[in-house]
Amino acid sequence: MMRLLYALALGLTLGGLVHIATLFAVPLMAPGSAYDRLAAATPVGRFAVLPDAGAETLPFRDPSFVMAACRYDLADGPVTIRASLPSTYGSVTVHNRYGQPFYALTDKAATNGAVEVTVLSRDDVAAAEVEDAPEGRPALRIVSPTPTGFVLVRLFASGPSARPALRHLAGKASCERAATRQISP
């Protein structure tokens, strides 16, 4: 009897460990995560406007918004995101490899209707500090927790008639490799 109780307690404890381990493994192993879905629809380093219909690209997308997505890869250096956000409502959000957002800007933060953010990896932070531009507007830099990830530009469409212009505007957003300056010795 004691032995059975002991086996049950051991089984419960191990079950808890299995639960915790598998739970943490789900984001790493889930097929069809947000990044994988975007990988099928968008290239790296360029914004693509997602089609209005269809859940294949991203599920639970708010149909009142026009959305453009760009995947980034920081292996080749920092990436600069530029997007125009109309004052109706627009946002730029930066997501890590597992889809979790780690930075968001709405049109309230826009200067002259546009926002500019540079995403860099942990290794590039020191280099970026050195080559800070002495002139121009202050650059906004954020560190990505993962070397790859994606950026979403979401623009609110008050009605179907507003969509074509917003799709055009969202498609004009860019997420190119940041221009690097030569550091003279």
Using CB under 8 A as the criterion, which residues of the chain lie in contact with another protein when the complex forms? 3-4, 7-8, 10-19, 21-24, 26-27, 30, 32-34, 36-37, 52-55, 58-65, 89, 91, 93, 95-96, 98-106, 145, 150, 152, 154, 156, 158-160
Taking the CA atoms of the chain, what radius of gyration do you get in angstroms? 21
CB of 129 to another protein, least distance (A): 23
> Residue 130: which H helix or E strand, with range?
helix 125-130
Going along 19-146, which residue ranges are E strands? 48-49, 65-73, 79-84, 90-96, 101-106, 114-120, 141-143
| Closest C-alpha to 94, from 112, 115, 66 | 115
CB of 176 to another protein, least distance (A): 21
DSSP 97: T
Token output for 178: 């940041």
CB of 126 to another protein, least distance (A): 22
CB of 9 to another protein, least distance (A): 9
CB of 75 to another protein, least distance (A): 22
Pick the closer one to another protein by CB: 133 or 145.
145
Pick the closer one to another protein by CB: 26 or 125.
26
| Closest C-alpha to 173, from 45, 35, 75, 62 | 45
Pick the closer one to another protein by CB: 25 or 139.
25
Pick the closer one to another protein by CB: 128 or 142.
142
Pick the closer one to another protein by CB: 24 or 137.
24
HSE of 83, CA atoms in CB hemisphere, 13 A? 35
